[in-house]
Amino acid sequence: MISEKVVKAINEQINMEYASAYIYLNMSIEMDDQAFRGYAKWLFAQYEEELEHAEKFLGFLQTRGAVPVLKDIEVPALEAKTPLDVAKAAYAHEMKVSASIDRIAELASKEGDRASNAFLMWFVNEQVEEEESTRDIVDMFEFAGDDKAVLFEIDRRLGEREED
Ligand SMILES: [Fe+2]
């Protein structure tokens, strides 16, 4: 049995994943506007990945016999302007998501809900990758500084991201 508490927490996570999708889409639009087409493409792929995360949580609730409840998705104003600022904001956001998933896993453990815990472990591992990939981009743009040739090369490389 899945407890009401876990259902509520996962419902909130569904909203957080859709909100993440919007955040990345917003970042992608901004980077495209600044002609960082490669990074814009990377961010768009991330947007699609966040949609998949939301759907995974949603499907899990349904599998457990619970009914997902959709909530409004917030679109916070994008304060990050440069690619480095965007990268830093993305990394900070992923750490927030990791903390949120850890909290749900902890709650599921407390509730003795092993099925939810096993399901959540996929996300725990996924977040390790998300933190790494977003942190790597911060490092790259930090390294580039104002060097246009290096920025161009990084952008080109980010554009090579495979759809996963
Ligand atoms: Fe996610």
What span, in angstroms and rounded, lies between the C-alpha atoms of 148 and 133? 22
Evaluate if residue 138 carries a pLDDT over 70.
yes
The stretch 69-77 carries a mean pLDDT of 91
Q: Are 141 and 87 in contact (CB under 8 A)?
A: yes
Evaluate if residue 164 carries a pLDDT over 70.
no
pLDDT of residue 18: 97
Q: Output the CA 149–ligand 1 centroid distance in Å.
A: 32
pLDDT of residue 1: 82
Domains, in order of start, for the chain: 4-158 (1.20.1260.10)
pLDDT of residue 40: 98
Q: Output the CA 146–ligand 1 centroid distance in Å.
A: 31
